[in-house]
Chains A and B, each alone.
Chain A
C-alpha cells in the first residue's frame, strides 16, 4: 500500500509505538513503518532527540522500581484459603472416597466372616444383610437421640419460660447479651488482624 510522507505527529506516534515494541515489522501490510522510521530518524535531529528522551524516561522509571519482599511468594502461598472450586475438584474427593471404600471393605469383611459363621453357604448375602442391619440400627439410634435431645431442650425451655413474664424477659436479655458479646469478640478479632497487618 502506497503512503505519502508522514507528518511530524505521525513520526512521533510511530516512534513511541516502536519504543513500546508495538510498531511491529508488518512491512507487507503497512508499508514497512519500522524501516521508514529508521530511515527518517537518521536524518531528523528532533526524532533522534525524542527517542533519546524516551529512553531516558524509561531508564529512570526502571531505576525507581522497588524490590519485592523475598518471602512474598511463600507468604501468599501459605495464606491461600481453600477456594470454592477446589472442593469440586476430583482430587478433593479422592481421600474421603478411599477412606469410605476402605472402611466399607473392612466392615464387609467383618460382617462376612460373622455371617459365614452363622449361616454357612450364604456368606455374600449375609454380609450385605448384616451391613444393612448395622447401618439402619445406627441411623435409627442417632435419629432417636437427636429427637429426644431437642425435645428435652424444648421441654426445659417451656418450663422455664411459661412460669412468668420475668423469666421471659430474663431470657430475652440473656440472648441479647450473648449476641453483644459475640459481636464484640468479632470486632476485636478484626481490629487485631488489621493492627497486625499494619505492623507487618
Chain B
C-alpha cells in the first residue's frame, strides 16, 4: 500500500484506516491524545479517569469509524463523542455521590451535588497552593457552559467553527461565550493574585 505523507489530514488517515491500514489509527491517537486527556481531565478532575475515558473514546470512535461523515472534521466528531462520554461519566459519579450522601446523612438537608475532586475548590484555600491548582480552581468555578468552551478552545485547541459544531451553537454565541468566559477566568485569577 502507498504510504501517505506525514502531512496527511485526519480525514485522509481515516480513509487509510478504513482501507485496512490499522496502524494509521495510531497516528490519529498521537495527534489528539494530549488534547483529549487534558480536556477530559479538566472535566473529570481525575487523571486516571481522564486516561480511561480517553481510551474508551478512541475505542468507540474506531468502532464507528465507517460512520464518520467526511463533511465534518474528525476533531469535531472526536470531541463530541468525548463530551458525551464525559457528561455520562459525571452523571454516574453524581448519582453515586448522592446515593452515598443519602446513606451517610440520612436527613433531608440540601447538600452540594458535586463529584469528588482531588483539588480544592474554594478560593480561600488556594493561597498557598501551586499555580496549577489555582488554574484548576478558576476553571472549575466557571459556569458549565463557559467552562466547556474555554476547555475546547484552550485544551482541545479547536477553532470557533469546530467548537460551534461540537456544541451545536451559532458561531456568534461561541464568540460571545468565550469572551465572557475568559473575562470571568481573568477576574478569578486576578482574585487569586490579590489573595
Report Cα–Cα, A90/B20, bound state, in Å: 9
Number of A-B contacts (CB under 8 A): 103
Beta-carbon contact of B55 and A72 below 8 Å = yes
- Taking CB atoms, residues of chain A closer than 8 Å to B136 are 64
Beta-carbon contact of B175 and A57 below 8 Å = no
Beta-carbon contact of B38 and A65 below 8 Å = yes
Beta-carbon contact of A69 and B59 below 8 Å = no
- 1/0 contact trace for B171-192 toward A, CB 8 Å? 0000100110010011001000
Report Cα–Cα, A88/B66, bound state, in Å: 10
- 1/0 contact trace for A65-81 toward B, CB 8 Å? 11111001101110111
| Closest chain A residue, CB of each to CB of B48 | A200
Beta-carbon contact of B22 and A61 below 8 Å = no
- 1/0 contact trace for A152-167 toward B, CB 8 Å? 0000000000000000
| Closest chain A residue, CB of each to CB of B185 | A57
- Judge if A83 is at the interface, Cβ distance under 8 Å: yes
A84 and B63 contact, Cβ closer than 8 Å, known pairs A60-B189, A66-B41, A73-B30 = yes
Beta-carbon contact of B26 and A77 below 8 Å = yes
B135 touches which one: A17, A61, A69, A76 (CB < 8 A)? Answer: A61
Report Cα–Cα, A198/B132, bound state, in Å: 24
B window 58-74: CB within 8 A of A: 58-59, 62-66
B window 135-191: CB within 8 A of A: 135-136, 139, 153-155, 159-160, 175, 178-179, 182, 185-186, 189
- Taking CB atoms, residues of chain A closer than 8 Å to B23 are 77
Report Cα–Cα, A63/B186, bound state, in Å: 16
- Taking CB atoms, residues of chain B closer than 8 Å to A8 are none
A198 shortest CB reach to chain B, Å = 8
A24 shortest CB reach to chain B, Å = 11
Beta-carbon contact of B51 and A85 below 8 Å = no
- Taking CB atoms, residues of chain B closer than 8 Å to A79 are 55, 59
- Taking CB atoms, residues of chain A closer than 8 Å to B26 are 73, 77
B59 shortest CB reach to chain A, Å = 6
- Judge if A13 is at the interface, Cβ distance under 8 Å: yes
B23 shortest CB reach to chain A, Å = 8
A63 and B131 contact, Cβ closer than 8 Å, known pairs A68-B51, A81-B63 = yes
Beta-carbon contact of A72 and B52 below 8 Å = no
A window 82-120: CB within 8 A of B: 83-86, 88-92
A91 shortest CB reach to chain B, Å = 4
Beta-carbon contact of B37 and A66 below 8 Å = yes
Beta-carbon contact of B131 and A60 below 8 Å = yes
A13 and B186 contact, Cβ closer than 8 Å, known pairs A20-B153, A80-B22 = no
Report Cα–Cα, A53/B136, bound state, in Å: 18
- Taking CB atoms, residues of chain A closer than 8 Å to B64 are 83
- Taking CB atoms, residues of chain A closer than 8 Å to B175 are 13, 16-17
- Taking CB atoms, residues of chain B closer than 8 Å to A88 are 66
Binding site for B on A (CB under 8 A): 12-13, 16-17, 20-22, 53-54, 57-58, 60-69, 72-73, 75-77, 79-81, 83-86, 88-92, 197-198, 200
Supplied contacts A66-B50, A77-B23, 5 more A-B pairs, CB within 8 Å: A20-B153, A63-B135, A65-B155, A68-B51, A83-B64
Could you write out 9 A-B pairs with CB less than 8 Å apart?
A: A20-B160, A60-B131, A61-B139, A72-B29, A76-B58, A77-B29, A80-B22, A89-B19, A198-B48
